[in-house]
């Protein structure tokens, strides 16, 4: 295992910046003068293909990132993670979410999915609905899985989610359900999460027939009232936003048929094997991490848009926001030193084609370039057969339009050919700068295996970015301060005097909102 070489990292960044200066003003279309560009910049991994040829990057620039990876000890940190060593340095923990889908996992880890499946078989005849309560990683992953794999949902079983402590969310979750035919699942790693326990107390008072929990603190769930046999544990080496592979997804194991949850784990394991074994220059999560960092730190694009052209993946951007920004939204290195470069872009997005009629105006004609990551389902699709070609046509057209654009002269000529009045004045409004970067990715089908591989790909890309940036992606201290302050302010909103040390604005709003 190599030690991190800060001098080599500095030199690698100097090389990366030199490549950025070389390519900054090169038109994307001109890069396709290389007849092998698409083949060279297309990478395959289990169930997933990614084409980076529309990015303003080339093999020489990627080679500089490979040098950066060597200097940052990418191989060493990857090996430490898969060995179960401490990689979450601020909490003194391993990060072994990958072990949850490892075919060679220890017996106690392998036992949990079997216990979840057995519980599902036992409880399904007695329920018509499941209410899943969690927040953050205890909500987004299972919610995404259920949405993405909806065709595999068991007929007649209603699945509801609530996360927000706004009472409307949990009220909606139980509306119209029969408590005598409902299973409540409470998901909290610590079983102390304020929002989740507030929602859980409300639903428990409503009287659901069955209670279950997923937690790393089973004794607290049992003390709260969940029968011990209905408490499904996971471990403190599973971070919340990496936990969908655990009992956190109990709802999925119960509600999905055809061994969907097991198959999801198998797909993720295949991606794990690729990430663990492939050299950096052939490693799809690692190359994608380099492209993300290139756009952000070398070319200065502070955000990117994740656009799944698959309605079943509409929640992917929300899940990615937590994964990437909670993991790598850091300002200091593992050693506590201030970062010279950011470790994370702003992640945002929505499903195409809806997004085209929303914020794509900004992507095409806004002042700043925002790289786009398109994700398509290349396999069979639901609904009318004719729609499949239309969704592909739109995804490909948007990527091409971002790159090719339309000059003011072209816009003017087009309008003049059509006899549009006032064409000269309108031309600037109908011109597109183009030369805007994107990645095209495709899963081979929207199966449990492919979904598992896709989500594991993003987990590993996030880890690879963290290694290249020198940060710990497995803690999230940034969420704690607001929680502490909320707990301090809550009594004032329930009738107690405002704390003496609050600022005037906060004191004003405490009085107004109590």
Quote the CA–CA distance of 429 and 364 in Å, as a whole number. Answer: 12
Beta carbons of 343 and 328 less than 8 angstroms apart: yes
Cα–Cα distance, 330 to 340 (Å, whole number): 11
Exposure on the CB side of residue 78, measured as CA atoms within 13 A: 25
Tell the residue number behind the tokens 């926001």, with chain if given: 321
User: DSSP character for 2?
Assistant: P
Query: Closest Cα partner for 252 from 326, 177, 159?
Result: 159
Least Cα distance to 108 among 7, 213, 197, 237 occurs for: 237
Phi, psi of 120 (to 5 degrees): -60, -45
Question: Residue 81 CA to chain centroid, in angstroms?
Answer: 20
Do 233 and 216 touch, CB atoms closer than 8 A? yes
The closest alpha carbon to 304, from 315, 319, 320, belongs to: 320
Active site residues: 326, 357, 483
Please give the Cα distance from 181 to 158 (Å, whole number).
10
Instruction: State the Cα angle at 136 between 134 and 139, rounded to 5°.
Output: 45
Strand order in the sheet with 231-233: 158-162, 129-133, 182-187, 210-215, 231-233
CB 46 within 8 A of CB 442: no
CA 212 to each of CA 84, 200, 209: distance values in angstroms, whole numbers, following the listed order? 29, 11, 10
Instruction: Note every long-range contact of 92-95, with CB atoms under 8 Å and residues 24 or more positions apart, other chains counting.
Output: 93/236, 93/237, 93/474, 94/237, 95/237, 95/239, 95/242, 95/474
**Nearest-angstrom CA–CA distance, 45 and 450:** 11
From residue 135, give the alpha-carbon distance in Å to each of 71, 143, 248, 478: 37, 10, 11, 16
């Amino acid at each position: 295992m190599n030690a991190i070489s800060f001098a080599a990292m500095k030199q690698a960044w100097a090389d990366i910046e030199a490549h950025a200066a070389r390519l900054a003003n090169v038109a994307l279309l001109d890069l396709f003068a290389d007849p092998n560009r698409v083949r060279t910049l297309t990478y395959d991994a289990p169930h997933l293909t990614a084409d980076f040829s529309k990015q303003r990057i080339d093999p020489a620039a990627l080679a500089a990132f490979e040098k950066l990876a060597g200097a940052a000890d990418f191989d060493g940190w990857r090996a430490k993670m898969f060995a179960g060593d401490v990689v979450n340095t601020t909490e003194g923990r391993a990060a072994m979410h990958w072990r949850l889908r490892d075919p060679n996992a220890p017996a106690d880890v392998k036992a949990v999915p079997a216990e979840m499946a057995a519980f599902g078989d036992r409880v399904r005849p007695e329920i018509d609905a499941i209410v899943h309560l969690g927040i953050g990683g205890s909500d987004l992953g299972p919610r995404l899985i259920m949405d993405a794999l909806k065709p595999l949902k068991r007929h007649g079983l209603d699945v509801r989610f609530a996360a927000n402590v706004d009472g409307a969310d949990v009220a909606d979750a139980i509306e119209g359900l029969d408590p005598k035919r409902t299973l409540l699942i409470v998901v909290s790693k610590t079983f102390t999460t304020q929002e989740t326990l507030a929602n859980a107390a409300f639903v428990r008072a409503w009287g659901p027939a069955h209670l279950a929990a997923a937690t790393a603190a089973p004794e607290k769930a049992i003390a709260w009232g969940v029968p011990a046999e209905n408490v499904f544990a996971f471990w403190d080496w599973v971070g919340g936003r990496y936990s969908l592979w655990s009992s956190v997804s109990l709802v999925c194991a119960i509600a999905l048929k055809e061994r969907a949850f097991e198959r999801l784990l198998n797909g993720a394991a295949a991606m794990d094997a690729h990430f663990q074994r492939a050299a950096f220059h052939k490693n799809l999560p690692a190359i994608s991490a380099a492209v993300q960092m290139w756009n952000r730190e070398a070319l200065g694009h502070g955000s990117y848009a994740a656009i799944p052209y698959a309605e079943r993946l509409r929640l992917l951007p929300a899940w990615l926001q937590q994964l990437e920004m909670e993991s790598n939204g850091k300002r200091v290195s593992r050693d506590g030193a201030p970062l010279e470069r950011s470790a994370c872009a702003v992640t945002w997005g929505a499903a195409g084609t809806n997004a085209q009629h929303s914020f794509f105006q900004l992507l095409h004609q806004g002042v700043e370039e925002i790289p786009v990551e398109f994700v398509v389902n290349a396999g069979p699709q639901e609904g009318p057969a004719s729609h499949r070609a239309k969704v592909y046509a739109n995804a490909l057209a948007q990527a091409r339009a971002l790159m090719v654009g339309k000059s003011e002269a072209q816009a003017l000529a087009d309008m003049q050919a059509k006899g549009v009045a006032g064409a000269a004045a309108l031309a600037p409004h109908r011109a597109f700068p183009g030369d805007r970067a994107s990645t095209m990715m495709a899963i081979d089908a929207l199966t449990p295996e492919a979904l598992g591989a896709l989500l594991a790909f993003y987990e590993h890309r996030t880890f690879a970015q963290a290694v290249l940036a020198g940060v710990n992606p497995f803690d999230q201290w940034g969420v704690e301060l607001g929680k502490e302050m909320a707990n301090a302010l809550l009594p004032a909103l329930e009738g107690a005097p405002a704390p003496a040390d609050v600022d005037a604005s906060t004191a004003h709003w405490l009085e107004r909102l109590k």
